A and B are shown apart, each in its own frame.
Chain A
Amino acid sequence: DSGVTQTPKHLITATGQRVTLRCSPRSGDLSVYWYQQSLDQGLQFLIHYYNGEERAKGNILERFSAQQFPDLHSELNLSSLELGDSALYFCASSPGLTGWNGELFFGEGSRLTVL
């Protein structure tokens, strides 16, 4: 158990809909990261938040948005869903920004299926 909690574990929805994925980081971790893993693809970096502020952005679509709340949990909002958005979405956390060995603690992921 990494200590990172993601909900829901599975989600099935239709094209055009909007969903929200939730992530609670490990206790004490200030950084939250979102990654997307599509079929036969590696983990694609989407976005990084540190203590409520956006720190880095990857290949995140404009239809997607995220935020980190004062209690440090994070939400990833996916709107106008398309079939190609079907993927496993991982949240990860780490203690901070500097002096970091690169270790991210991943949740079990939220599997999104768009029909």
Chain B
Amino acid sequence: DQQVKQNSPSLSVQEGRISILNCDYTNSMFDYFLWYKKYPAEGPTFLISISSIKDKNEDGRFTVFLNKSAKHLSLHIVPSQPGDSAVYFCAASARRTGANSKLTFGKGITLSVRP
């Protein structure tokens, strides 16, 4: 049972345009969400996170939006750069249950930014 779903396996955008990566979750106990980026032959690296008490968190070119009623979050990258080409994983945890050490990851989205 996939509790964190990234339904689009890939996304291709033009350099300078916006990249929107989507993520859906089914577990209503999830209250903390994260995005990780992974380059080939490297481990994932943390990108940005958001608590369920917020609906938006911004860090430079990266903004994460959370829609709790729809159980949906998205990562916006503006403007997209060729160096952003990577696999992006959405992850969630249920901190209020004390299970904050367990991150549930989606399958990832491969982003390609065309020069």
**A115 near B: Cβ within 8 Å?**
no
**CB within 8 Å of A: which of B1-32?**
2, 4, 6, 32
Chain A residues close to B by CB (< 8 Å): 2, 4, 31, 33, 35, 40-45, 48, 50, 55-56, 58, 90, 92, 97-98, 100-109
> How far, in Å, is B75 (CB) from chain A's closest CB?
15
Chain B residues close to A by CB (< 8 Å): 2, 4, 6, 32, 34, 41-46, 49, 89, 91, 93, 99-108
The dominant DSSP class at the B interface is strand
Q: Top 4 nearest A-B pairs by Cβ distance?
A: A106-B43, A103-B46, A43-B105, A42-B105
Q: Do residues A45 and B104 form an inter-chain contact, with CB atoms below 8 A?
A: yes
Q: Do residues B34 and A42 form an inter-chain contact, with CB atoms below 8 A?
A: no
